[in-house]
Chain A
């Protein structure tokens, strides 16, 4: 599965662990399940975990911008977790940091038994 999705009711957080290359081909299949979970849970936070994403092009930027719009419209916020250096490079180029916070391993905590 290119995406594993978890929900923590206590913190009202949806965590989506993305995996594999993110390009135009794969972006659509990542988008649908994340949006479905967000619309079902109406969370305060959406976390996109990029730890297992070795490659991403501008389709990944489109994916982040789209999810940012969705969660912001719902009054929540988007957090990007653990992008690898190459993926982080393109995020910085696109100014993703203006849309959401980008956090790394050291900022991870256990929330409701869920590794975040």
Chain B
């Protein structure tokens, strides 16, 4: 089924730590017309921050590669977010998604990135191929949209 996309944007930026903040502020600004509640905005920003941090810390470990961030505003106040890298990929996605699992404990990574993305969105999909990259897509319906659906 083809989704009706009301608005969309794509950003490409290098995986520099400074861009973690930039990415979540960009998403925050882009979805502002939907008038998300404070807690919804906070959760979406956190999910984006986790996804972009994963690209920087894990996908492009020791190097700086390109991250592609896509946001689409769909009908019924639904927000689609995709974060894509061309990094090392994830050999075992199920393992990576386990809460508290991290490959970088010495850097004080809590191993909660995917658990947080999962909690703060309605749907999380992770596709990855070792050696060619990872794409994380998230879908979140804002409360305003849920009300519309009910009526």
Size of interface on B: residues with Cβ below 8 Å to A: 25
Contact A86 B38 (CB under 8 A): yes
Write out the residue numbers on chain A whose beta carbons fall within 8 Å of the beta carbon of B17: 23-25
CB pairs A–B below 8 angstroms (20 shown): A24-B17, A25-B21, A55-B24, A55-B42, A55-B45, A55-B46, A57-B46, A57-B116, A58-B53, A59-B53, A59-B108, A59-B109, A61-B112, A62-B107, A85-B38, A86-B38, A86-B39, A89-B39, A90-B46, A93-B116
- Interface residues of chain A: helix, strand, loop or mixed (majority): helix
Chain A interface size band reads 20 to 34
CB distance from A89 to the nearest CB of B (A): 7
Interface flags for B11-32 (1: CB within 8 Å of A; 0: not) read 0000001101100100000000
Write out the residue numbers on chain B whose beta carbons fall within 8 Å of the beta carbon of A86: 38-39, 42-43, 46
Contact B49 A27 (CB under 8 A): no
Cβ-neighbour of B116 out of A21, A24, A58, A65 (below 8 A) = A58
Contact B42 A24 (CB under 8 A): no
B110 at the A interface (CB under 8 A): yes
A31 at the B interface (CB under 8 A): yes
Cβ-neighbour of B108 out of A27, A55, A89 (below 8 A) = A27
Contact B108 A23 (CB under 8 A): no
A94 at the B interface (CB under 8 A): yes
Contact B119 A93 (CB under 8 A): yes
What CA separation (Å) do A66 and B107 show in the bound complex?
9
How many residue pairs at the A-B interface have CB separations less than 8 Å? Answer: 67
Interface flags for A15-48 (1: CB within 8 Å of B; 0: not) read 0000001011101000100000000000000000
Interface flags for A64-81 (1: CB within 8 Å of B; 0: not) read 011000000000000000
CB distance from B36 to the nearest CB of A (A): 12
| Residue of chain B at shortest CB distance from A84 | B42
Q: Which of B25-84 contact A (CB under 8 A)?
A: 38-39, 42-43, 45-46, 49-50, 53, 56-57
Other A-B pairs, 20, CB within 8 Å; known A86-B39, A86-B43:
A23-B17, A23-B20, A23-B21, A23-B49, A25-B21, A55-B45, A57-B53, A58-B112, A59-B108, A59-B110, A61-B110, A62-B108, A62-B109, A62-B110, A65-B110, A85-B39, A86-B38, A86-B46, A93-B112, A94-B112
Contact A25 B110 (CB under 8 A): no
A116 at the B interface (CB under 8 A): no
Contact B18 A25 (CB under 8 A): yes
